[in-house]
Structure 1
Amino acid sequence: MREYEVAAGQAETIPITGSGDVVKARQAVRTLAQRSGLSLVNQTKLVTAASELGRNTLMYGGGGRARIAVVTQGSRTGVWALFEDEGPGIPDLGLALTDGWTSGSGMGLGLSGARRLVDEFELESAPGKGTTVSVVKWAR
């Protein structure tokens, strides 16, 4: 994971064990995006990516957690969101990141769509080891 400074009092961890938790994570991302000065368009992009990643954490990882914070790097401010699970992992990262690929039961956005919506995207996964996705959207 890249290094960011987390703004004091601006970090939150949300357990993801049901669909209501995905909604909580999405709302928390929106709140921090508003506070950090993201434009409405960029708020929407980040919230959409967070919604997809939260659903993936629940559906494919069997649940996990979201960690969300306002971050700074030099003079810029943004929102960092990390989604992690201890599920079965992703056996083929290349395939999972291919545009148009879907497991058939998600929103259809997929990991590649979530990646396009954010400024920074990191994915770590291995079979039997779970999955961690970290994203950042910077205020312009």
Structure 2
Amino acid sequence: MAGSQETYGKKEREKKRLKKQEDKKKKAAERKANSKGGGLENMLVYVDEFGRFTDTPPDPSQKVKVDAESIEIGVPKREAEEEVDPVHQGRVDFYDSSKGFGFIIDKVDQERYFVHVSGTTEDITEGNTVSFELEKGQKGLNAVRVKKI
């Protein structure tokens, strides 16, 4: 007859596995015995009027009544706004004609705007007074439709 197929290593691994299972069961029983318990009431958390978490329920006398019909769903309609002139005036602060770009300083708010040769309607040079419109570019507002005044 053949000998047992269990080696010393297999026996040791099996003992370790059983010990781990037993330790796990002991820890679970210990956690269950030491838990505060109390059921659902101990697990509830309330939010007060300032948005902080608290374990005390809100006072029903402080409840605010909201009229459901006053709630607007969607985007409110725009009211008529004043028409702002899209054409600005400024002075060419820097312009490199070989590279085809430069900067314009607005007369009103002294903001500096980028201008590219493709946004000009005629040739400009440094110091020219120009009129321009603004368009959103990759890195901010760009001056377009630039004309000498």
* Band of TM-score, shorter chain: under 0.3
TM-score normalized with structure 1 length: 0.21
Q: Which has the higher contact order (CA 8 A, sep 6+)?
A: 1
TM-score normalized with structure 2 length: 0.20
Instruction: Say which one has the larger Rg.
Output: 2
Identify, as 1 or 2, the structure richer in strand.
1
